Structure 1
Amino acid sequence: MSDFDNIGKLMHLKLTEIKPGEKFSESKFIIKAAAETVLQADGRNWIPVIVKEISDYQYQVVSNHFVYAVAQQAQLERVWCIVISPESQNIEQAKILAREVLPKVNLNTASRDTILAALKYLISEPNSALKGVDPIIATNQIADSNRKTWSNFNPIITLRCGITKGKKLDALTKVFFFSSLPASPPLPLPEIMSIKSASRDEVFTRLSYLSKSQIDGFEAIDLEKLSDVIFSASKGKWKSLNPISKLECGIDTIKIKALKKVFSL
């Protein structure tokens, strides 16, 4: 007979039927002192060990490893346990609730309040690498960015929010993660066209390619306005694309290089 139908139940299991889980370390003094309190309570652990069943009447610790170590130290014959469904998300939840691991939030979708709370937590840690970072400024910069497409933390470096490459950026991995989004196929490169003869729609189409491909920051530019400015400009005497940088439309020398991917003279 199997105990798989006992998931969620509080059970008094034999210690010999329970295998240890992940490596656990704690002061011997703390474990011994805690074991004494368990013995003084007639050998009852009031905080249960969280286990999963690995075969008939055989279990493994997945959370509350400290309680299991105390039970071993007290040499209990039986230990009060809760049997958990073995899915990874359930085990992760048990570890989070036992404060054995930190919860993490998806930075692609996290709300502004969640980002702020997470940054304040990291900054408040002893010897935090993020000491000196203003959590409100950093939160505003991150929350207002196009985070849905991020697959790593590198875009944060360009936000000038006090979080720089190295220890500061690495500290974010403690509480944030990214969705495993499938890579989108690259957009087809439009035919290079003379910027002098291109229609307004043809200008917009090529700027839209640069924006959707997230090339050199074009995704942050007002394409409608930029298309109007470029199309309306007097381009007859242009000998290069450089005059576009003087049109006060958000185009700098880096973006001029990107424009050469889709425009000629």
Structure 2
Amino acid sequence: MHTEPEIRAFLKARRAALDPAELGLPDGITRRRVRGLRREEVAQLAGISVDYYTRIEQGRANAISEPVLDAIERALRLTAAEARYLRNIAGPRRPAPAPEPERRVRPEIRHLLDALDETVPAYIQGPGMDVLAWNRLAARLAFDYDTIEPARRNNALLIFLDPSARTLHLDWEEIAESVVGNLRAEAGRSPESPRLCAVICELLDHSADFRRLWEAQSVQERCSGTKRVRHPEAGELVLCYESFRLPQDSEQSLCTYTAPRDSPTERKLRELARGVAVGAP
């Protein structure tokens, strides 16, 4: 059986996010006291009984069939990431995993990071957003991972608990939402991961912003996009980021930052890679 608080909070949040009027649902005999859909309305849209949907939402339903999950996804207008998350938390409880091994980055991947060092900041991210390896340009671009103790080399912890993150990231709120969405998606895939649980618990204990975003139940896996960084030497940089899951190391991802050729940001990246003062003749 799945974890009751997890699925209850998620389905309740997704019900609350929908506008009944947009779905053609009336207010009913009594005025709505809370926003969003009622349980009976979700059940009606999904074509299942109210009692069965209630048991699903309360975490009391075993072996939920694929057609029922499909119907709930359609009724709640879930995104692809939200649908994957629902399937992960609605499935049977996984057995407790063996102790997590030390995360090692293959030598070939380290060679790749070094080869990118001239113009492409890059690092390897592991479970719970731990940073496992990086090139010199990545350390110069944002957080200096070389000076951070291993247990704290974690992008989620740095974004929410390092005061410099809000100065560094010009769109901090957007970055923070992305971090929370990715952590929740990972929690759906690996709910028993000790490292992931430790990161989430620390953030819940020490960051009000994280608690606020976590309680919103947003699920998203952002693997690409644009970030604006305010670098202390280079000034504002506009970077395109990509995240590539490594086929042979499924729990590791290669994360890169690039800029269009001959753009001001690319020029500044080259100067940072050379270790010279940005803008020097």
Compute the TM-score of the two structures, normalised by the length of structure 1: 0.22
Compute the TM-score of the two structures, normalised by the length of structure 2: 0.21
- Structure showing greater radius of gyration is 1
Q: Which of the pair has the greater relative contact order for Cα pairs under 8 Å at 6+ separation?
A: 2
Please identify which structure carries the higher helix content: 2
